[in-house]
Structure 1
C-alpha cells in the first residue's frame, strides 16, 4: 500500500477513528485503525465491537492495499505535523511496518494483519430514512444531558429514539432520563421512518454521532433495526449496537395537571442560579425558589460555607410557592432553551416540575424537586 494524503484530511479521518477505539482493551487489534486503499479512495475503519466508524476520503493511491496500525499513535503523529503537509503512508506488503512520511519527518510504526481486524456484521434494517443534520443534532443535543450514568439501570444509559404521537400527529422523538430529570424532544417524522422500531442509542454513540452533525447543509441517512442503528454521511458511516433493554414508560412521569405558571428570561435565570449556587456545598447543591406575584427569589443556605440570595422579575400570577432543586439540574435544563423565555409549570413543592421553551411544546423537560 502506498498513498499520499493532505494532513488536514488525514487528521479528520484519524480523529474520528481514535475516539472510537478503547484505550484499555485486552484485544490488541481493537486499538488499531484499518486503513484500506483502493482506486482513488482510502477508508479508515475503527471499532470497539459495539461501535464501528468508517471514514472514506479521496487520496492519491499509488498502490492499493490494507494495513492496521495504532489509531492513537497515528493520530498523535498527524496532529503534530505542520498544517498543509502532504503525508505519505507506505507499507511494502512484506514487512510489518507502516512508514509515515511528511517533509523531513519519518516514522516507522508496527502493524497487525488486516485479517485479524473484526468487521461488524451487516444487518437487515427495518427502517431507512433521511433527516437533516440540524434536526438530528437538536434531537440528541437537547436530550443527552439527562442520560443516566448508573450502570445498574443500563437501559437508561442512552437516548431512546422512537416514533410517537405528538400534538399534531406522529413525530420522531428522543427521550432521556436518569430518574431525577427527563428530556423529551420531538421533530417532524421523516418519510420512511413510520415503521421504525424504538431503539436506545448508547451514550458513547451519541457522542460520536455529534461529530457527524456539525454541517447544517447535509442530510444524514439513518437505518434502524432491533439490534443496530446506522448514521451515514457521504464520507462517514457510523454503525452501533443498541442497548438491549426496554425503556420505561416515560409518559407516566410527565405531569399534565401542573397549573402554576412561571415565565422567566432563560439566560438571566441560568446566570442567577449559577451565582447563588456558588456558596452551596457540592454534595447537595440545593437552590430554593420562592415565588410570589411577579417575583422570584433564588436562595441557597449552606451552613458550612454561607448563604446567597438573588431576586428576579418574572411573570407569575399564582399563589405563593417555595420549591427546591438541584442547582446542576436546573442549570442543565435552562441551558437547553434556545428561545428567550423559559416556562415552568409547577403543582406543589413535592411534585415534578415541567419546563418548556416559550409556547413550543416540541421540547419538554421534567425535573424532580429536592427538600430544602
Structure 2
C-alpha cells in the first residue's frame, strides 16, 4: 500500500479515529487504526468494540492495500507536521512496518496484520431517516449535560432518543437524567423515523457524534435498530451499540402543577449564580433563591469561607418563596437557554422545579431542590 495525502485531511481523519480507541486496553489491535487504500479513496477505521468510526477521504493512491498502525502515535506525528505538508504513507507488510514521510521528516512505525482487526457486524436497521445537523446538534447538546456518570445505574449513562407524542403530532425526542436534573428536548419528526425503536445512545457516542454535527448544511443519515445506531455524513460513518437497558418513565418526574412563575434574563441569572457561588468551595454548594414581588435574591452561606448575596430584577408576582439548588446544576441548566428569558415554574421549596426557554416548550428542564 502506498498513498499521498494532504496533512490537514489526514489529521482530521486520524483525530477522529484516535479519539475512539481506548488508551488502556488488553487487546493490542484495538489501539490501532485500520487504513485501507483503494481507487481514489483511503478509509480510516477505528473501534473499541462498542463504537466504530469510518472516515473516508480522497488521496493519491499509488498502490492499493491495507494495514493497521497505532492511532495515537500516527495522530501525534501528523499533528506535529507542518501545515500544508504532503504526507506519503508506504506499507511494507513483509517487514511489518509503515513509513510516514513528509518533506525531510521520516517515521517508521510497527504495524499489525489487517486480518486481526475487528470490524463491527452490519445490523438490520428497522428505521432509516435523514436529519439536518443543526437539529441533531440541538437535541444532543441540550440534553447531554444531564447524563448520569453513575455506573450502577448504567441505563442512565446515555441520551434516550425516541418517538414521543406531542400536541397533536409526533416528535423526535432526546431525554437525559441523573436523578437530580432532567433535560427533555423535542424536534419535528423526520420523514421515515416513525418506526424507530427507542434507544439509549451511550455518553461516549454522544461525544463522538458531536464532531459530525458542526457543518450546518450537513444532512445526517440516521439508522436505528434495537441494538445499534448509526450516524453517517458523506465521508464519516459512526456506528455504535446502544445501552442494553430500559430507560425509566421520565414523564412522572416532570411536574405538571407548578404555578409560581419566575421570568428572568438567562444570561444575568447565570452570571449572578456563578458570582455568589464563588465563596463556597464545596462541590455540592447550595444557592438559595429568595423570591419576592419582582425581586430575586441569590445567596450563599459557607460557614468556613464566607457569604455572598446578589439581587436581580425579575418578573414574579406570586407569594414569597425560598428554595435552594445545587449551584452547578443551576448554571448548567441556565447555560442551555438560547433565548433571552428563562422561565422557572415552582410549586414549593421541596418540589422539583421546571425551567423552559420563554414560551418554548420544546426544551424542558427539571431540577431537584436542595435544603439550605
Deviations 1:250-301 (A, max 9, x none): 0000000000000000000000000000012323310000000000000000
State the partner residue of 1:268. Answer: 268
State whether residues 145 and 332 of structure 1, in contact with CA within 8 Å, keep that contact through their aligned partners in structure 2. Answer: yes
- Structure 1 residue 166: deviation in Å? 1.3
**SS in structure 1 of the partner of residue 212 of structure 2:** coil
Deviation at 1:72, TM superposition (A): 0.1
Q: CA deviation at 1:168?
A: 4.0
- SS of aligned partner of 1:315: coil
Q: Which runs of 5+ in 2 are unaligned?
A: none
Please list the CA deviations of residues 202-249 of structure 1 after superposition, one character each: whole Å capped at 9, or x if unmatched. 000000000000000010000000000000000000000000000000
**Stretch moving more, 5-14 or 277-286:** 277-286
* Structure 1 residues without counterparts, runs of 5 or longer: none
| Counterparts of 1:87 and 1:241, CA distance in 2 | 34
- 1:281·1:304 contact (CA, 8 Å) conserved in 2? no
Match of 1:288 in 2: 288
What is the rounded CA distance, in whole Å, between the counterparts of 1:305 and 1:8 in structure 2?
49
Q: Secondary structure at the match of 2:92?
A: coil
In 2, Cα distance between equivalents of 1:242 and 1:182: 20
Q: Which runs of 4+ in 1 moved over 6 A?
A: none
Tell me the secondary structure at the aligned position of residue 94 of structure 2: coil
**Aligned twin of 2:312:** 312
Q: Say how many residue pairs are matched.
A: 372
Query: What CA distance in whole angstroms lies between the structure 1 residues aligned with 2:283 and 2:160?
Result: 29
**Residue matched to 1:113:** 113
SS at the partner of 1:270?
Answer: helix
Match of 2:297 in 1: 297
Matched, 1:141 2:141: yes
- 2:263 equivalent to 1:232: no
Task: Name the CA distance, whole Å, in 1 between partners of 2:132 and 2:281.
Answer: 43
Show the counterpart of 1:8: 8
1:177 is matched with 177
What's the counterpart of residue 97 of structure 1? Answer: 97
Specify the alignment match of 1:198 in structure 2.
198
CA RMSD of aligned residues (A): 0.5
CA distance in 2, matches of 1:101, 1:95: 17
Q: Note the C-alpha offset of 1:95.
A: 1.6
Query: Over residues 80-110 of structure 1, what are the superposed CA-to-partner deviations in whole Å (9 max), with x where a residue is unaligned?
Result: 0000000000013322000000000000000
- Secondary structure of the residue aligned to 1:11 is helix
Match of 1:131 in 2: 131
Q: 1:161–1:175: 8 Å Cα contact kept in structure 2?
A: yes
How far apart in 1 are the matches of 2:47 and 2:98?
A: 20
How far has the Cα of 1:40 moved from its partner? Answer: 0.2
What is residue 29 of structure 1 aligned with on the other side?
29
Q: Over residues 15-40 of structure 1, what are the superposed CA-to-partner deviations in whole Å (9 max), with x where a residue is unaligned?
A: 00000000000000000000000000
Cα distance between partner residues in 2 of 1:94 and 1:193: 48
Match of 1:330 in 2: 330
